[in-house]
């Protein structure tokens, strides 16, 4: 059986959709999420998207993102003729505004007064995009990030916003429904930025709010049924959010045609394997084949301490076990994966989504070349928060759909150095106490990711009148928006004190607990 990318990609519903052309901004992905939060489907594509593809997309409106370049440079990206010829409303943000102005005959120049960070703009009270988003007579607080600015508006435009250092901080051509904003409405630092996005997609582009969890589920079920027909589908169920939602969605769509293989590699969290089987096998009635492969993984990892080598060993062993189980199944024609939209974007090597490439390590860690299954990826057009939303709508428990990220190699990269069963068992119990207390104290959802790390070193401790010489664990909790950068979570001292005492008292073999206060960068979130 050989994995191959299917010929036809998943398509979004044939309803209103916003095209976002990426000029390299760090906020491009955020624009897409804001549009979807307004109930409208959106996709990110490169600014130089092929003319035929742009026309075939059928956009109800187009947003031009910001970017790091200067308009007018030798290699600076421009607005394509196809964008203008599309005949739909346009919104240029930061560089997108400057590029649009230059394309239509305006002038853009470097400013001696750059604006980076918080700023205030005065807005036109009667403007259809910005009017009334701030209290009457009060400036709008926004987030700026630019060195260049529009000096002369193109013909047909008028100014709709002005800041101290950018007299033309917003522009509009009402007849053609073209708009430009020098500031970033997509970031939370901009006051009422979401309302501005909603004004554009709803009032100006005329898009209804039909991108909802219920509609998404109905549409995706219809597409899966049309694509798969009566054939059987195989899914490698990991117990993570993405594969769990795929399992629930496919079960809703095709019932017993779905077969899940759950590989228990011995590197999961405490009782996680039993929880997966209870949730999917017993409560949802999903056909799940459980494979107990703990000893196989431990044997393969014996004596290996290098983090990257450990990852490769775990990935190869998973493929081996999964492939062995798949060979025993008859009549399977499709392989399901939990690929989500950020995977599609990142697989293209940038935030442009220029190519729909499957990540070789996604879910099953890179499939054997002899595996010849057609690929179905029901979630490939969804962001993580949307995946969680439809998981809830499908009836999955909040403890599952709201859980923190867990690395593919599991505890294999949270045990520093060689992986041993003794270490994994100690770490499981310590991690369970930490996560359990976060939930109990109402702190779990306040942090983006939390976990314990096992350190293969011993430290002297005292219990009663006795001396202990046992292992050390480190606790890690971070706050982040995009996981590209992160700061350590300022958990209450009383909480950390309670967790530390519980771990040392309840987990024989651990004598010391530390708390990781490293930021990313320079540190990574995971230790390995």
Which residues are tagged catalytic?
94, 184, 186
- Around Cβ 16, how many Cβ atoms within 10 Å? 22
CA 399, CA 412: separation in Å to the nearest integer? Answer: 23
Cis-peptide into 521, omega within 30 deg: yes
Would you state the structure tokens that stand for residue 485, as one six-digit string?
């950068």
CA 379, CA 220: separation in Å to the nearest integer? Answer: 8
The helix/strand/coil state of 112 is strand
Q: Which of 314, 269, 514 is nearest to 412 (CA)?
A: 314
Cβ atoms 477, 447 nearer than 8 A: yes
* Strand (E) or helix (H) holding 440: helix 421-440
The helix/strand/coil state of 393 is helix
Cis-peptide into 470, omega within 30 deg: no
Q: Which of 303, 293, 433, 312 is nearest to 365 (CA)?
A: 312
**Cα separations in angstroms, 268 against 264, 357, 410:** 7, 28, 6
| Nearby residues of 486 by Cβ (< 8 Å), 6 or more positions away | 448, 449, 478, 479, 480, 519, 520, 525
The helix/strand/coil state of 287 is coil
Question: 481 φ, ψ to 5°?
Answer: -100, -45
3-state SS string over 294-314?
Answer: HHHHHHHHCCCCCHHHHHHHH
CA 450, CA 438: separation in Å to the nearest integer? Answer: 9
CA 22, CA 357: separation in Å to the nearest integer? Answer: 18
CA 148, CA 75: separation in Å to the nearest integer? Answer: 16
DSSP secondary structure letters along 318-341: HHHHHHHHHHT--SEEEEE----H
Question: 513 φ, ψ to 5°?
Answer: -130, 130
| Packed helices 213-228 and 241-254: angle between N→C axes, nearest 10 degrees | 60
Q: Which of 472, 479, 370 is nearest to 417 (CA)?
A: 472
């Amino acid at each position: 059986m050989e994995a191959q990318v299917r010929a036809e990609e998943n398509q979004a519903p044939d309803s209103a959709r916003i095209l976002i052309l990426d000029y390299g901004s760090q906020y491009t992905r955020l624009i897409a999420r804001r549009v979807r939060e307004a109930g409208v489907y959106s996709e990110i594509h490169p600014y130089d998207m092929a003319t035929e593809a742009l026309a075939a997309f059928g956009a109800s409106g187009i947003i031009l993102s910001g970017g790091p370049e200067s308009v007018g440079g030798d290699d600076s990206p421009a607005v394509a003729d196809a964008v203008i010829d599309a005949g739909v409303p346009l919104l240029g943000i930061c560089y997108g505004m400057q590029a649009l102005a230059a394309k239509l005959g305006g002038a853009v120049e470097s400013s001696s007064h750059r604006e980076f960070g918080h700023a205030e703009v005065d807005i036109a009270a009667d403007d259809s995009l910005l009017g009334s988003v701030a209290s009457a007579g009060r400036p709008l607080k926004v987030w700026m990030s630019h060195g260049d600015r529009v000096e002369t508006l193109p013909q047909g435009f008028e100014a709709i916003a002005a800041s101290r250092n950018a007299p033309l901080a917003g522009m509009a051509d009402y007849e053609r429904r073209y708009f430009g904003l020098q500031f970033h409405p997509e970031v939370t630092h901009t006051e009422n930025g979401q309302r501005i996005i909603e004004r554009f997609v709803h009032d100006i582009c005329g898009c209804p709010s039909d991108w909802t969890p219920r509609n998404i589920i109905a549409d995706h079920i219809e597409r899966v049924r049309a694509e798969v027909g009566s054939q059987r589908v195989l899914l490698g169920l990991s117990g993570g959010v993405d594969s769990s939602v795929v399992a629930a969605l496919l079960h809703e769509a095709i019932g017993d045609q779905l077969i899940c293989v759950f590989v228990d590699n011995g590197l999961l969290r405490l009782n996680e394997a039993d929880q997966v089987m209870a949730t999917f096998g017993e409560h949802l009635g999903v056909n799940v084949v459980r494979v107990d492969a703990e000893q196989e993984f431990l044997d393969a990892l014996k004596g290996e301490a290098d983090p990257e080598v450990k990852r490769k060993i775990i990935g190869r062993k998973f493929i081996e076990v999964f492939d062995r189980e798949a060979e025993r199944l008859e009549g399977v024609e499709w392989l399901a994966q939990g690929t989500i939209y950020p995977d599609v974007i990142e697989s293209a090597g940038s935030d442009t989504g220029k190519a729909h490439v499957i990540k070789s390590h996604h879910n099953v860690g890179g499939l054997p070349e002899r595996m010849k299954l057609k690929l179905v990826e029901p979630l490939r057009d969804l962001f993580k928060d949307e995946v969680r939303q439809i998981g809830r709508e499908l009836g999955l428990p909040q403890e599952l759909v709201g859980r923190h990220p867990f690395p593919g190699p599991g505890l294999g990269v949270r045990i520093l150095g060689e992986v041993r069963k003794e270490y994994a068992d100690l770490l499981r119990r310590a991690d369970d106490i930490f996560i359990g207390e976060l939930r109990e104290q109402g702190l779990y959802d306040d942090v983006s990711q939390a976990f314990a790390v096992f350190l293969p070193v011993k430290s002297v401790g005292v219990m009663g009148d006795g001396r202990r010489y046992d292992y050390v664990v480190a606790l890690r909790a971070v706050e982040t928006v995009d996981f590209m950068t992160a700061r350590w979570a300022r958990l209450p001292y009383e909480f950390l004190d309670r967790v530390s005492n519980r771990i040392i008292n309840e987990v024989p073999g651990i004598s010391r607990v530390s708390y990781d206060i490293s930021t990313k960068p320079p540190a990574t979130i995971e230790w390995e």
